[in-house]
Structure 1
Amino acid sequence: MKIFVVFAMVALAGCVTPRMQTSTAVYDFGLQRFATSAKAEAPGNARLQASLLMAEATAPAWLDSTAIHYRLAYYDLAQTYTYASNRWASPPATLLTQWIRSRIAGISDGGVMSAADSVQTDYILRLELEEFTQVFDTADQSRAVVKLRASLINRDTRSLVAQRSFHIEQAAHAPNAAGAVRALAEASDKLIGDLLGWLVEELREENNIVTPRRLDRPAKASGVGQIEAPSL
């Protein structure tokens, strides 16, 4: 009988004792990083003369969430995992859209708009995020991998001006979620720098052409001559 009473008291204590809740760490790219990047776009550097409509970057379904993804290259590179107690403040494509738009605004004389602005622009920039993960080559060594495809579209002719895929890798400082966030932010910073340089060069060449671009003229990107612009 005494044993039964003891078990009953233990069970009751288990019912009334509050459960420990694990807090979730939420990350973005940081205000300081935005400020540092903005200062890097000095007025004396090459600038964008044309106006851009930058649609929200898209991502595959598995990447369209706030989860922080990683892969184990030494086990199965085709499988993705997520950190249980760590996440992004917004899906990576949304965070990248905000950052890229801010960086473009820093070097643009024509302005950068979103679809919600309903403003006529010279070109449309379409972005597709393909990879945004931390890859573990060993249990204690990892790297960030960011892949993005950019398409520059002439708003008037609806023709593809240029298209390019960007691929950046950055070693992680720690084999954990915090290391993933820092490495992914650093890789994204480098990728955005390459993207801006590409935009400046393509628009400079495009605006140096005196005669209007014909619709059937081959685009500089391989494979596609025209592309349907997003409807507004």
Structure 2
Amino acid sequence: MSGRRTALRGLLAAALLGLAACASVIDKSEPPTLYDLGPLPPPAAGAAPQAGAALVLPSIEASGGLDSTALLYRLGYENLHELRPYAQARWSAPVPQLVHERLGALLARERAVIGTGELTATPRSDAGAPRVLRLQLQEFAHHFEAPQRSRGTLRLRATLLQSGPLGDRLIAQRSFEVQQPAPSPDAAGGVRALSQAVDAAARQIDAWLRETRDATPAA
């Protein structure tokens, strides 16, 4: 009888140790998966590199949750006005930085793109000054219309300015909104859709810059 009790106590102790081990594994949270926007798409066939005038591209402005590494999503079928961060997925750098780097690289295929820190001197006349493209990021999130149907949405405002000795003068302003379907209803699918949205926005901005090539600053 005592031997059976000893055996039962041993089994109980082993079970408790197993439960404790499982609890320690469950309590130990895994680090979130880090995402970037991936490799750049190949250039269009026959594209002429740096055909346009030089362009200054300052850091992109953003506010609230967009100025962070949070990967945001929105459940339109529950609460269209609520942005939520993915718990186990984040961007590898703040969103404005990732978008700025990708847009800058894509726009630089058609023109010289420089940052504000690369301007070595204040131009003496408007004629010799590069144009400035200021971008304000207003939306960058994974939108769900239904549990199995979603898209990546990018929305930004672009302001094209002419720099000069008396300050910047407005040439044109335009808002862009791009939506790309997500291949899967998860963080990875949202990242892919948002990356494609940035690429599509770069093409639209490039076309707009070409359209405004001969535009003059507002008086």
Give the TM-score band, short-chain normalised: 0.7 to 0.9
Cα deviation digits, residues 117-148 of structure 1 (max 9, x gap): 23354211110000001111111111111101
1:106 to 98, 101, 109: 109
TM-aligned CA distance change 1:46 to 1:114, over 3 Å: closer
Shift of 1:100: 1.3
Shift of 1:104: 2.0
* 1:52 and 2:52 are equivalent in the alignment: no
Offset at 1:41?
7.4
Identity of aligned residues (%): 29
Equivalent residue of 2:81, what SS? strand
Partner residue, 2:147: 139
Q: Deviation at 1:183?
A: 0.6
Instruction: Check the 8 A contact 2:70/2:86 in 1, yes or no.
Output: yes
Q: Partner letter of residue 100 of structure 1?
A: L
- If the length of structure 1 is used for normalisation, what is the TM-score? 0.76
Q: Please state how far the C-alpha of 1:24 moved relative to its aligned partner.
A: 2.1
Aligned residue among 20, 27, 30 for 1:14: 20
Gaps of 5+ in 1: 207-212, 218-232
Alignment partners' CA distance in 2, 1:197 and 1:171: 22
**Paired position in structure 2 for 1:162:** 172
One-letter code aligned to 1:22: E
Q: Determine whether 1:153 maps to 2:161.
A: yes
Is 2:82 the partner of 1:74?
no
Q: Distance in 1 between matches of 2:133 and 2:175?
A: 13
Q: What are the superposed Cα offsets for residues 78-129 of structure 1, whole Å, 9 maximum, x if unpaired? A: 0011111111111221111101111222111xx2211222335421111000
Q: CA RMSD in A?
A: 2.8
TM-score between both structures, scaled by the size of structure 2: 0.81
The AA in structure 2 aligned to 1:131 is E
CA separation of 1:145/1:11 partners in 2, compared to 1, >3 Å: closer, same or farther?
same
1:124 has 2:132 as partner: yes
Q: Report how far residue 204 of structure 1 moved.
A: 3.1
Aligned pair count reads 202
Gaps of at least 5 residues in structure 2 are 1-5, 122-128
